[in-house]
Structure 1
């Protein structure tokens, strides 16, 4: 695996109890075919870049041009979500405020509360592993829950296609299900939002439809080295065959009825670095069980 220089704290059982108590309540479409298979837990006490979100790691082999391209794409995606998802649902569409509030935020420990910026005492990271999303095999989404010194929730962040978003504008706006902050996961794609009204139905129906399902094959996992890729690709039948399997078995039309609730349990949780080491074998297991028998 890629070596990452980062401060890392071993998790105790009390840490896991806290992670279970503060875990987000994940809400899915009634017909969602892919649910979390494991959740990598990390606990942060100071500002650092998440090891599980390599989008924000400046790797030595990236040129300045590629780094700039990555950040431009992140900003474009942020602006896209602001204009397309919020324009029709926000009664006060402050586009510039939304763009500022939801801009890419690679640094942990600070959470925005309207125009203020609060510092958390600790942050729990939930790296949510899915065997697949509707377009590609392997999907990793993130939720960060921000706590004060009394371990009370003061904010929630999540990822949308690799971009970190502040999900709630302030702590007072956080919605809860059985004391767990609610995070809605878009049908088939699992991006994190806080209101079903933000769902872009046209785009999601297209993504879950015949022409798009499975089209990307096995996703480009950034922290896989050549040796790991060689091992995985022994079982990879290729994009076209994966696409055929997904067209036959996974094409669906989202109902946009977000009624499938899931509160992560201790059984799903493990340290992020343990989960990271398991991911190649998890992908192979999925290919052998859910793809290769139908090729």
Structure 2
């Protein structure tokens, strides 16, 4: 990773606001910097730059756990104008990629603030979103762990689901069930050592999943 990349990533990285009771925080961030329009390497999104934009930064944010499953990847795209200011912001919401109106975005310098859905980690610049989202309480409490090991299209054929893996993930996550406070006062900023190229993150994630499963298994057999 070049010093130029680090400077760009650090200058424009989003600030995440988590629920006070959020049990899981990001582990690594895979990045791609687009100096011209192109296909996202980690989602179906096509990253299209306008004539007035210098580049776009894709932050592929990895957690070990969503409250309902092992493996979690959410995304933020920061578009930078030729004046070096943020021109647009997009972020993921359960497989949907939303572009937010500029007039509702809040910044600390060039760092946009984004709220993260309790337990589930989808992004919104407006906290009221989570008060109206159906199932926000249930997903963090009675449904904790119910999805086992998540396998998305980006990792099809790279690792496999199984009944045992789902069981291990479920038993582990059940312990973290919580009722969200809906007080988003846990502010999170990325450190430079969390950033890796997307290609490196892609190679690392399956190994990390295996490590998590082994650790859960070891924990269970020691009970």
> What do residues 110-144 of structure 1 show as CA deviations (whole Å, max 9, x unaligned)?
48xxxxxx752200110000101011110100000
SS of equivalent to 1:33: coil
Classify 1:238/1:190 alpha carbon distance in 2 versus 1 (closer, same or farther; 3 Å): same
Aligned length: 220
Tell me what 1:42 maps to: 32
Tell me what 2:208 maps to: 282
Rounded to whole Å, the distance in 2 between the matches of 1:267 and 1:177 is 21
Query: Structure 2 residue aligned with 1:244, among 171, 180, 184?
Result: 171
Rounded to whole Å, the distance in 1 between the matches of 2:33 and 2:214 is 33
When structure 1 is superposed on structure 2, of 150-159 and 121-130 the one drifting more is 150-159
Tell me what 2:182 maps to: 256
Rounded to whole Å, the distance in 2 between the matches of 1:253 and 1:242 is 20
Tell me what 1:152 maps to: 85
In structure 1, runs of 5+ residues without a counterpart are 1-10, 57-105, 112-117
Structure having the higher helix fraction is: 1
- TM-score relative to the length of structure 2: 0.90
1:107 aligns with 2:46: yes
SS of equivalent to 2:32: strand
* Bigger-Rg structure (1/2): 1
- TM-score relative to the length of structure 1: 0.69
Rounded to whole Å, the distance in 2 between the matches of 1:282 and 1:125 is 21
Tell me what 2:124 maps to: 193
Q: Is the 8 A contact 2:26 2:62 kept in 1?
A: yes
How much has 1:15 moved relative to structure 2? Answer: 1.7
Q: Is the 8 A contact 2:86 2:110 kept in 1?
A: no
Structure having the higher strand fraction is: 2
Tell me what 1:142 maps to: 75
Query: Structure 1 residue aligned with 2:152, among 208, 217, 221?
Result: 221
SS of equivalent to 1:165: strand
1:206 aligns with 2:138: yes
1:31 aligns with 2:21: yes
Classify 1:292/1:122 alpha carbon distance in 2 versus 1 (closer, same or farther; 3 Å): same
